[in-house]
């Protein structure tokens, strides 16, 4: 769905964008439209909607009013022209890749990515011959060096899961522009409250809304945002779903009919109508509600994470902390430039006692929950090498900055003194158990 013009400031948009009092009943809260189908006015309207001559609701796999409200809100917060909601962050990454590419194509990817994205990329390579061309390091020069004539896109995260590295989005966007490639940014760990990648030249944004956008760890969801900035026309049949006629839609050419939101429309037609991973209206409703407090939560997430990271850095049992907002950290300059509020609340650290100490630390925590997800109100911990990054090859784990000694934290909104006290008692027990 198309977003509203950006006139209101961020915190106001988080509360209001994309939803209004219900015209039918006056309900102030966005109603949940639990209906699969929508009655057509006429047979002509039904045919027009199916042929994409007119827009309108027909079947909730492709679009639904509650889901559309969420799409408009996230599009507004990202400064995008349109957004498409999907059933998970994983399917957001998948649909972007499937819409841009077909068998035999390639794309340049950051070597440091969420484990699920790396796993998906390996699977798609093996089964569908979509080749990830991993940059040798995180610099724009390394991304540029990896480009070949087969390259169809550049994919990276704004803030990297799990090590909190802040990427040089503007530098990588300049490379993408020079080579006529769309830049896809997974903005899950930053959320638009910390970074709006479109302002730095990104063309497509993906989110796992299961994390900070929803905020409370209740529902899984994903989002694809179309900046409307990429010149698809200039690339012709390289992007054939966007620039070539769809014979089954009376020869529809998406970039002619929808020049400002071509990518979002192609994702909706192919990704939702054909492939099918739409978002439930209930999940859209809960995510929409969560977003209303996003700016407030991100402020506190960042402040708490910084306090915990600073505490860990000075602890004698700790080997290193990867949180680039701390002075003297690698990547500090990029963090200061892109995220003055702080690089979110997900980061890694390592104990001097290596893997045994890392596992004992996790087992000894009481307040901080041991579980796989991230980016919610409660503080969470996991050992990535044996869980989220388990399926990767050892060299891929190393490139993603996940070693056997690495612990991942997702710092929530508790009082930071209580979090530090819990970490302190867990570290003391590790010292007594392992020495
Ligand atoms: C969690 C996550 C995903 C996958 O999202 P799901 O909603 O769990 O499917 C993708 N990218 C990043 C950066 C993530 O943290």
In order of their start, the domains of the chain are 10-291 (3.40.640.10), 295-434 (3.90.1150.10)
Which H, E and C letters describe the chain, residue by residue? CECCCCCCCHHHHHHHCCCCCCCCCCCCCCCCCCCCECCCCCHHHHHHHHCCCCCCCCECCCCCHHHHHHHHHHHHHHCCCEEEEECCHHHHHHHHHHHHCCCCCEEEECCCCCHHHHHHHHHHHHHHCCEEEECCCCCHHHHHHCCCCCEEEEEEECECCCCCCECCHHHHHHHHHHCCCCEEEECCCCHHHHCCHHHHCCCEEEEECCCCCCCCCCCCCEEEEECCCCCCHHHHHHHHHHHCCEHHHCCECHHHHCCCCHHHHHHHHHHHHHHCCCCCHHHHHHHHHHHCCHHHHHHHHHHHHHHHHHHHHCCCCEEEEECCCCCCCCCHHHHHHHCCCCCCCEEEEEECCHHHHHHHHHHHCCCCEECCCCCCCCCEEECHHHCCCCCCCHHHHHHCCCCCCEEEEECCCCCHHHHHHHHHHHHHHHHHHHC
Say if residues 303 and 416 touch (Cβ distance below 8 Å): yes
Q: Measured from the CB, is residue 344 less than 6 Å from ligand 1? A: no
Q: Measured from the CB, is residue 290 less than 6 Å from ligand 1? A: no
Q: Cα(263)–Cα(44) distance, rounded to whole angstroms?
A: 27
Using the mean position of ligand 1's atoms as its centre, give its distance from the Cα of residue 272 in Å: 19
Q: Measured from the CB, is residue 345 less than 6 Å from ligand 1? A: no
* pLDDT for the residue numbered 391: 84
Using the mean position of ligand 1's atoms as its centre, give its distance from the Cα of residue 185 in Å: 12
Q: Cα(381)–Cα(433) distance, rounded to whole angstroms?
A: 20
Using the mean position of ligand 1's atoms as its centre, give its distance from the Cα of residue 276 in Å: 18
Residue that has been written with the tokens 């209930």 in this structure: 282
* pLDDT for the residue numbered 281: 98
The protein residue with its alpha carbon nearest to ligand 1, atom 6, reads: 89
Q: Measured from the CB, is residue 226 less than 6 Å from ligand 1? A: no
Q: Measured from the CB, is residue 88 less than 6 Å from ligand 1? A: yes
Say if residues 322 and 165 touch (Cβ distance below 8 Å): yes
* pLDDT for the residue numbered 6: 56
Q: Measured from the CB, is residue 210 less than 6 Å from ligand 1? A: yes
For residue 162, say if its preceding peptide bond is cis, omega within 30 degrees of 0: yes
Atom of ligand 1 lying closest to residue 210 CA? 7
Indicate left, alpha or beta for 251 from its phi (over 0: left) and psi (-120 to 50: alpha): left
Residue that has been written with the tokens 């699977």 in this structure: 123
Encode the chain (435 residues) as per-residue pLDDT tens digits.
Answer: 444 555 899 999 999 999 999 999 999 999 999 999 999 999 999 999 988 899 899 999 999 999 999 999 999 999 999 999 999 999 999 999 999 999 999 999 999 999 899 999 999 999 999 999 999 999 999 999 999 999 999 999 999 999 999 999 999 999 999 999 999 999 999 999 999 999 999 999 999 999 999 999 999 999 999 999 999 999 999 999 999 999 999 999 999 999 999 999 999 999 999 999 999 999 999 999 999 999 999 999 999 999 999 999 999 999 999 999 999 988 999 999 999 999 999 999 999 999 999 999 999 999 999 999 999 999 999 999 999 888 888 888 888 788 999 999 999 999 999 999 999 999 999 988 876
Q: Measured from the CB, is residue 283 less than 6 Å from ligand 1? A: no
Q: Measured from the CB, is residue 361 less than 6 Å from ligand 1? A: no
Residue 115: both structure tokens together: 């484990």
Using the mean position of ligand 1's atoms as its centre, give its distance from the Cα of residue 435 in Å: 36
The protein residue with its alpha carbon nearest to ligand 1, atom 5, reads: 89
Q: Cα(58)–Cα(283) distance, rounded to whole angstroms?
A: 20
Radius of gyration of the chain (CA): 22
Indicate left, alpha or beta for 165 from its phi (over 0: left) and psi (-120 to 50: alpha): beta
Q: Cα(1)–Cα(73) distance, rounded to whole angstroms?
A: 10
Residue 349: both structure tokens together: 């650290």
* pLDDT for the residue numbered 5: 52
* pLDDT for the residue numbered 1: 46
- What is the value of pTM for the model shown? 0.97
Using the mean position of ligand 1's atoms as its centre, give its distance from the Cα of residue 220 in Å: 9
The protein residue with its alpha carbon nearest to ligand 1, atom 10, reads: 89
Using the mean position of ligand 1's atoms as its centre, give its distance from the Cα of residue 51 in Å: 33
Query: Ligand 1: which of 157, 208, 382 to mutate, most ligand atoms within 8 Å of CB?
Result: 208
Using the mean position of ligand 1's atoms as its centre, give its distance from the Cα of residue 398 in Å: 20
Q: Cα(118)–Cα(397) distance, rounded to whole angstroms?
A: 10
Query: Exposed, middle or buried: residue 432 (CB in 10 Å: 0-12, 13-18, 19+)?
Result: exposed
* pLDDT for the residue numbered 109: 98
Q: Measured from the CB, is residue 161 less than 6 Å from ligand 1? A: yes
Question: What's the number of CA atoms in the CB half-sphere (13 Å) around residue 198?
Answer: 23
Using the mean position of ligand 1's atoms as its centre, give its distance from the Cα of residue 24 in Å: 36
Atom of ligand 1 lying closest to residue 160 CA? 13
* pLDDT for the residue numbered 399: 80
Q: Measured from the CB, is residue 89 less than 6 Å from ligand 1? A: yes
């Amino acid at each position: 769905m198309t977003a509203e013009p950006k006139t209101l400031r961020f915190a106001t948009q988080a509360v209001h964008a994309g939803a209004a009092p219900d015209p039918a009943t006056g309900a102030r809260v966005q109603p949940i439209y639990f209906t699969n189908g929508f009655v057509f006015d006429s047979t002509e309207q039904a045919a027009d909607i199916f042929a994409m001559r007119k827009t309108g609701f027909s079947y909730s796999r492709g679009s639904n009013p509650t889901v559309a409200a969420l799409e408009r809100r996230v599009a507004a917060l990202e400064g995008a022209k349109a957004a498409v909601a999907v059933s998970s962050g994983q399917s957001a990454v998948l649909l972007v890749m499937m819409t841009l590419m077909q068998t035999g194509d390639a794309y340049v990817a950051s070597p440091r990515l969420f484990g699920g994205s790396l796993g998906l990329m390996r699977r798609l390579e093996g089964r569908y011959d979509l080749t990830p061309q991993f940059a040798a390091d995180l610099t724009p020069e390394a991304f540029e060096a990896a480009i070949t004539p087969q390259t169809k896109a550049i994919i990276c995260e704004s803030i990297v899961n799990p090590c909190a590295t802040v990427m040089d989005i503007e530098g990588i966007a300049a490379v993408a522009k020079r080579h006529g490639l769309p830049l896809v940014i997974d903005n899950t760990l930053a959320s638009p409250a910390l970074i709006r990648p479109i302002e730095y030249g990104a063309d497509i944004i993906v989110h796992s809304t299961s994390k900070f956008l929803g905020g409370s760890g209740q529902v899984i969801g994903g989002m694809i945002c179309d900046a409307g900035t990429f010149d698809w026309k200039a690339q012709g049949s390289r992007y054939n779903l966007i620039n070539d006629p769809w014979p089954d839609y009376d020869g529809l050419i998406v970039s002619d009919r929808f020049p400002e939101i071509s990518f979002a429309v192609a994702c909706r037609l192919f990704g939702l109508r054909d492939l099918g991973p739409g978002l439930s209206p209930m999940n859209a409703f809960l995510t929409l509600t969560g977003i209303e407090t996003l700016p407030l939560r991100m402020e506190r997430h960042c402040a708490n994470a910084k306090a915990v990271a600073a505490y860990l850095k000075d602890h004698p049992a700790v080997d290193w902390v990867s949180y680039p907002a701390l002075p003297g950290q690698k990547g500090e300059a990029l963090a200061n430039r892109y995220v003055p509020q702080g690089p979110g609340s997900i980061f890694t650290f390592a104990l001097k006692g290596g893997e045994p100490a890392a596992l004992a630390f996790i087992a000894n925590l009481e307040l901080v929950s041991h579980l796989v997800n991230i980016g919610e109100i409660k503080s969470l911990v996991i050992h990535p090498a044996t869980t989220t990054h388990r399926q990767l090859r050892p060299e891929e784990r190393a490139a993603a900055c996940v070693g056997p000694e690495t612990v991942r934290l997702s710092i929530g909104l508790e009082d930071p003194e209580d979090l530090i006290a819990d970490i302190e008692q867990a570290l003391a027990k590790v010292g007594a158990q392992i020495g």
